[in-house]
């Protein structure tokens, strides 16, 4: 969770460490030095140019939070591929966000094994506690929620993935403490919803 900022964030503070709006024209989007190093390693690791696209998009998303039009152009330019090809790939894979997400993107598995053990109730409890619907972001920019398919941990259902991390056995009655612990991890949560 390297992108999470600390410090108080109220509804007025919309800024997040992941730039989510269109960047200002005078400061063109660029990869950080660390990301640049990573992209160089990708070139060494995948000698075939085609194979670099998905890994590069993963880096770009971690860097910028989501794959905006500007990010698409940046990546296409970097890999010297047509934007149209990049578009076809980005739109195919669900992990590439085509709109901004919260700093904590809460993904609830809705596939049958999780559903049989109450993921529907878990989803409703999370949406209710945060006051947002799927695809929306809380006013403080902290949370977004979405439904996802099987995360391959069906023995610990319901399963919720938050950014890169799996959370297991998240039954509806645990949702309040689950969200509180997420807030506390980020350092900007008051105890209680």
Partner 1 sequence: MGFDRVLTRNVGKPDSRKIDTYLAGGGYSAARKAVTSTPDEVVKIVSDSGLRGRGGAGFPTGKKWSFIPKNDTGQKFLCCNADESEPGTFKDRVLLEHDPHLLIDGMIVSAYAIQATRAFIYIRGEMHAAAKILEGAVAEAYARGFLGKKIFGSAFDLDITVYRGAGAYICGEETGLIESLEGKRGWPRIKPPFPAIKGLFGRPTVVNNVETLCCVPPILERGASWFASIGTPNNTGPKLYCVSGHVNRPGVYELPLGTPMMELLDQYAGGIWKGRTLKAVIPGGSSAAVLTAPECQALPLDFDSCGKAHTMLGSAGVIVMDDHTCMVDAALNVMRFYAHESCGQCTPCREGTTWVAKILNRDVHGQGLETDPDLLLDVCRNIEGRAICPLADGAVAPVASIIRKFRSEFDHHVKHKSCDLGKAAVA
Binding site for partner 1 (CB under 8 A): 45-46, 48-55, 57-58, 85, 88-89, 92-96, 110-113, 115-117, 120-121, 148-157, 161, 164-166
Burial 7-29 (b: 16+ CB within 10 A, else e): eebeeeeeebebbbeeeeeeeeb
Q: How far apart are CA 143 and CA 49, in angstroms?
A: 35
Give least dist CB 96 to partner 1, A.
6
Helix (H, G, I), strand (E, B) or coil at 154: helix
Give least dist CB 1 to partner 1, A.
11
Q: How far apart are CA 139 and CA 15, in angstroms?
A: 10
Residues in the chain: 193
Closer CB to partner 1, residue 15 or residue 51? 51
Give least dist CB 161 to partner 1, A.
7
Closer CB to partner 1, residue 9 or residue 106? 106
Give least dist CB 77 to partner 1, A.
16
Give least dist CB 64 to partner 1, A.
16
Closer CB to partner 1, residue 50 or residue 131? 50
Q: Which two tokens stand for residue 49?
A: 């140019």
Closer CB to partner 1, residue 14 or residue 41? 41
Q: Which residues contact 179 (CB under 8 A, 6 or more apart)?
A: 126, 129, 130, 143, 193
CA 161 → CA 10, 23, 44, 158, distances in Å? 24, 29, 31, 10
Closer CB to partner 1, residue 155 or residue 173? 155
């Amino acid at each position: 969770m390297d992108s999470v900022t600390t410090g108080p964030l109220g509804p007025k503070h919309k800024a997040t460490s992941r730039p989510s709006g269109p960047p200002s024209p005078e400061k063109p989007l660029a990869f950080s030095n660390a990301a640049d190093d990573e992209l160089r390693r990708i070139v060494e690791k995948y000698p075939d140019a085609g194979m670099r696209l998905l890994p590069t998009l993963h880096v770009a998303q971690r860097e910028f939070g989501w794959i905006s039009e500007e990010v698409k152009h940046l990546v296409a330019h970097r890999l010297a591929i047509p934007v149209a090809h990049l578009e076809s790939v980005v739109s195919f894979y669900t992990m590439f966000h085509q709109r901004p997400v919260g700093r904590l993107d809460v993904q609830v598995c809705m596939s049958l094994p999780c559903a049989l053990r109450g993921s529907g109730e878990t989803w409703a409890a999370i949406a209710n506690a945060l006051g947002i619907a799927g695809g929306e972001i809380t006013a403080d920019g902290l949370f977004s929620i979405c439904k996802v398919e099987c995360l391959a941990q069906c023995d610990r259902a319901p399963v919720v993935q938050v950014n890169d991390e799996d959370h297991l056995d998240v039954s509806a009655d645990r949702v309040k403490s689950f969200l509180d612990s997420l807030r506390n991890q980020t350092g900007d949560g008051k105890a209680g919803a």
